[in-house]
Amino acid sequence: MQYQTALALGVVIPLISFGILVFWGPRLGKPKASWVALAAIGISAGLGIYVLAGWLGADAATRATLAEQAYRYDWGRIGDLPITVGVKLDSLTVIMYFMVTFIAFWIHFFSIGYMAGHSDEVDGVSKYHRFFAYLSLFCFSMLGLVISSSLLFLFIFWELVGLCSYLLIGFYFDRKYASNAAMKAFITNRVGDFGFILGLALVVIYTGTFDLDAAAASISQQFHAKSGIFAESFTLWGLSLATIMGIGLFCGAMGKSAQFPLHVWLPDAMAGPTPVSALIHAATMVAAGVYLVARVFRLLTPEAQMFIAVIGCITLTITALIAIVQTDIKKVLAYSTLSQLGYMIFGMGVGAWVAALFHLMTHAFFKAMLFLGSGQVIEGCHHEQDITKMGGLRKKMPVTCWTFFIGVLAIAGFGLPGVAFGPDHFKLGLGGYFSKDEILAVAYERAFNFPGVLNKSDAAADDAGEHAAAEPKEESRIADSEKTAAHIHTPSVALASGLNSQASSPKSQVLPLTDETGRHGAQSTASHDAAHGEGDHHDAATGTPAKLAIAQRLPNLPTWMFWLPIIIAYITPFYMMRVWWLTFCGKPRDHHVYDHAHESPMMWIPLAVLAVGTVFCSYNLFGTFRPMLAEAAAIATDSSMIVAVDGEAHHAGGSMLTLTHMPGRDPHAALAKIVGWSWLIGMGLAAFLYLRGLEIAAGLKRIWPLSAVHKALDNKLYFDHVYDAVLVGGTVIFGQVCGAIDKYIVDGLVNLSAGVTRLLGVFMGRQLDMPVKKTDWGLIDRIANELAEAMLDIGMHIRRPQSGRIRSYVVLAAGTAAAALLVVLYYEPLSSGCQWFLRKTLSLASAQQ
């Protein structure tokens, strides 16, 4: 079977499951309905594994050929705009498809045990089949989004994902808080989708296509030719139309991936069943936003990319702070998801494309495990979610306890910096130690080693007279890609050579860079060796001259955007250790909860599998995950406007830069000192504070200003309050104003017109037609009435002679005849006429005789 066919079939099968459960689900009943959904996603997962295994077994040339021959079908046209249905077949699609189906399968498996202990009734009617139908539709939507090669169909599946989240979050729609949470999620995502539609419209208008690759190629051509969207003079708040397009596309991700300021819906999404939370937070909805940014990376301008970095940085900071004080086990995990999504979006913003997606993969496994673990706890503790009422559960739930702890280690970034084993320099660590730290390494590179930063430091040094040789002017550094095909004199390279020689060589000394050195100038192991004082050092960030030239044009990354994620790297292990310790360690704080605690094999088996998956994806076993992402990045990040940076040098290709590897500027060496043991410090602090339960924390909470900070964080930094007052309250006030305008102005004008018409009608009726009062004119009726009365009077006068007496009639006839004779005789005209008439009558009579 062709890989593209297998992927397409794997998308359709959950849709078939949805149809079966919708129409025959009530007949199947419980638990057969769940078996249909589990079998469907199991087949899709099997197809995903089949494609992944085949893809890993193929060489690079075969993969490229398969990608080029991927299915494309012209579905229709809108004018000259083609509507194409196709499969986007590359390493990113394959690995995302596997991740979604594999994790979704175990979430389905867990759901069977979870729903068995939870009510599936809504308004007294069983909705068991409906729950699994929604899960199937959710998986169909996400898989369709992953394989779509067209922005149009990506958007269609994007909206289906939003619809499914609404249905699942509000599954218990008879409960007001669940219904409100679903509505909140749906409306908040519509805000982001408005920007997505705007960005999508600009893409179609200026590229004439929905196809991702064709649109990226068109935008690149327009950038070089300064035509199309780059020729437009329109600006909004100083942003070009191309930047607005990129920000608009990112707005969709702000909604789906719950980024500031649209992050408020995700914690409330916990109103749905816990498996829904796991599916949303790990494999589907929130992952869709990061995936979208990865796909449209080539359409972003430097300003749009910086906007993405700022939003991600703000999100990861504020949500991690809020997570510190949460007491609902699911809310803690929800805010941790927001913070980790912030890291991913921040990574995309600083150019850590591979690292951000690698973190998405590792996060999917350990966050699914954490949410399912919380579901096991909630189910085993008789639906209790407050961690302050738990404690000591490791004895009742050992599998849940230690798999949950593996997830805590993974998200905390557990690892041993500076320690390597064997000739391959094997590093001991989990999840975030590799993925999140790589994002921080790229951020370090952007903040301290990129050309723009070094230019400033060089200029300051020149002003101080610390260098003998003068620096080239900045405008001479920013050369076009075509002019730097052979080699380029980059400030970072020049500075690197000067530092290596310890100022024995003039600063103007340069190192030639070729495509070969760009691809293979440094190795990942050498990167870590440099961090630990072993091996050779590699000078400066390396890459093709064209990409180095692009890097020179990028804006500097503010240093605060590097230090905030560093601080949060210490806070993350603190709040995650806090939730684990309060749940599983210490003494039971509520014996009613403790006595009911138990584990279900149907629910802990997925935890064990996902724990293995967490370790598997961290170490890139069999060449999966990160190596495949690095391969996909070669095309997905090939932009003419921005550049990606690969934190693992031996994976760098022509479309990416590598890190600087030199004494004093190596990001890995710096991070090993700055944040290498953050997991131990954060987890140790949490264990110390909660060693005696809640006593120490409760005492600290009463101290000012910690009490004020705690209150602000407990109220989620008042975002909901502000939105309720400004947005909801403002909308209500605006509605009231519109209602008043409608009532007193619009309706007032209509009512005024009606009143005038009524008065006119009254005037016409009373004064001109039919009088009602004695004072009314009633002109028309008066004329008719007067005429009728005149006729009546005439008739009455004529009637008087008609008395019925014969003598009166004889007298009247005689009088009339006498009057007629007198007229005929004495009125000449009438007399002549009468004579003529008599003669004529007599002549006719004689003629007849």
pTM of the model: 0.80
- pLDDT at res. 452: 55
446 within domain boundaries: yes
- For residue 148, give the 3-state DSSP assignment: strand
For the residues of 624-648, what is the DSSP string, one character each? Answer: -SHHHHHHHHHHHT--SS--EEESS
Contact status, residue 304 vs residue 389, Cβ threshold 8 Å: no
Same domain, yes or no, for 698 and 827? no
594 φ, ψ to 5°? -65, -40
Same domain, yes or no, for 697 and 816? no
- pLDDT at res. 507: 30
Same domain, yes or no, for 553 and 412? yes
- pLDDT at res. 263: 92
Over its C-alpha atoms, the chain yields an Rg (Å, rounded) of: 42
Cis preceding-peptide flag for 261 (omega within 30 of 0): yes
- For residue 785, give the 3-state DSSP assignment: helix
Q: Which amino acid type is present at position 796?
A: M
Q: Which of 702, 732, 766 is the last residue of a domain?
A: 702
- For residue 150, give the 3-state DSSP assignment: strand
Same domain, yes or no, for 680 and 827? no
Same domain, yes or no, for 679 and 563? yes
2 within domain boundaries: no
- For residue 533, give the 3-state DSSP assignment: coil
Provide the residue range defining the domain that includes 688: 301-459+544-702
Cis preceding-peptide flag for 705 (omega within 30 of 0): yes
Contact status, residue 715 vs residue 724, Cβ threshold 8 Å: no
Rounded CA-CA distance 377/373 in Å is 6
Exposure class string for 688-722: b at 16+ Cβ within 10 A, else e: ebbeebbeebeeeeeeeeeeeebeebeebeeeeee
Rounded CA-CA distance 219/213 in Å is 10
Same domain, yes or no, for 326 and 449? yes
217 φ, ψ to 5°? -65, -40
Same domain, yes or no, for 824 and 691? no
Rounded CA-CA distance 677/688 in Å is 17
Same domain, yes or no, for 431 and 548? yes
Token pair 């072993």 is found at 534
For the residues of 551-564, what is the DSSP string, one character each? Answer: HHHSPPPPTHHHHH
752 φ, ψ to 5°? -65, -45
DSSP assignment letter at 226: T
310 within domain boundaries: yes
Cis preceding-peptide flag for 31 (omega within 30 of 0): yes
- pLDDT tens readout for residues 337-363: 999 999 999 999 999 999 999 999 999
Where residue 217 falls (left for φ over 0; alpha for ψ -120 to 50; beta otherwise) is: alpha
Closest to 72 measured CA to CA, from 160, 153, 159, 155:
153
Q: Which amino acid type is present at position 350?
A: V
Same domain, yes or no, for 673 and 555? yes
684 within domain boundaries: yes
Token pair 């090993």 is found at 672
739 within domain boundaries: no
Q: Give the chain's domain count.
A: 2
Q: Which of 648, 680, 702 is the last residue of a domain?
A: 702
- pLDDT tens readout for residues 621-638: 555 778 888 888 888 888
What angle in degrees, to the nearest 10, is found between the helix axes of 828-848 and 806-826? Answer: 100
For the residues of 520-549, what is the DSSP string, one character each? Answer: HS--HHHHHHHHTT-S--B-S----HHHHH
Rounded CA-CA distance 496/663 in Å is 9
Closest to 616 measured CA to CA, from 412, 361, 438:
361
Closest to 434 measured CA to CA, from 282, 614, 618:
618
Rounded CA-CA distance 334/320 in Å is 10
Rounded CA-CA distance 198/20 in Å is 37
Alpha-carbon separation of residue 582 from 368, 386, 512, 589, 828 (angstroms): 20, 10, 57, 9, 138
Q: Which of 668, 702, 736 is the last residue of a domain?
A: 702
Exposure class string for 59-97: b at 16+ Cβ within 10 A, else e: eeeebeebbeebbeeeeeeeeeebebbbbbbbbbbbbbb
- pLDDT at res. 771: 60
Token pair 């004779």 is found at 821
- For residue 770, give the 3-state DSSP assignment: coil
825 within domain boundaries: yes
The distance of Cα 793 from the centroid of its chain, to the nearest Å, equals: 91
213 within domain boundaries: no
Same domain, yes or no, for 575 and 692? yes
- pLDDT tens readout for residues 441-491: 999 999 988 765 555 545 444 444 443 333 333 333 333 333 333 333 333
Contact status, residue 110 vs residue 234, Cβ threshold 8 Å: no
Length of the chain: 849
- E strands, 275-319, in order: none
As beta bridge partners, residue 538 has: 661
- pLDDT at res. 828: 67
Q: Which residues of the chain have pLDDT under 50?
A: 457, 459-540, 650-652
Same domain, yes or no, for 440 and 328? yes
328 within domain boundaries: yes
Same domain, yes or no, for 425 and 306? yes
- E strands, 639-714, in order: 644-646, 656-658
CB atoms within 10 A of CB 496: 27
Alpha-carbon separation of residue 273 from 20, 152, 364, 374, 831 (angstroms): 22, 31, 18, 11, 119
Helix (H) or strand (E) holding 420: strand 415-421
- For residue 417, give the 3-state DSSP assignment: strand
Closest to 546 measured CA to CA, from 472, 632, 486:
486
- For residue 239, give the 3-state DSSP assignment: strand
- For residue 508, give the 3-state DSSP assignment: coil
Rounded CA-CA distance 417/660 in Å is 19
Rounded CA-CA distance 35/259 in Å is 36
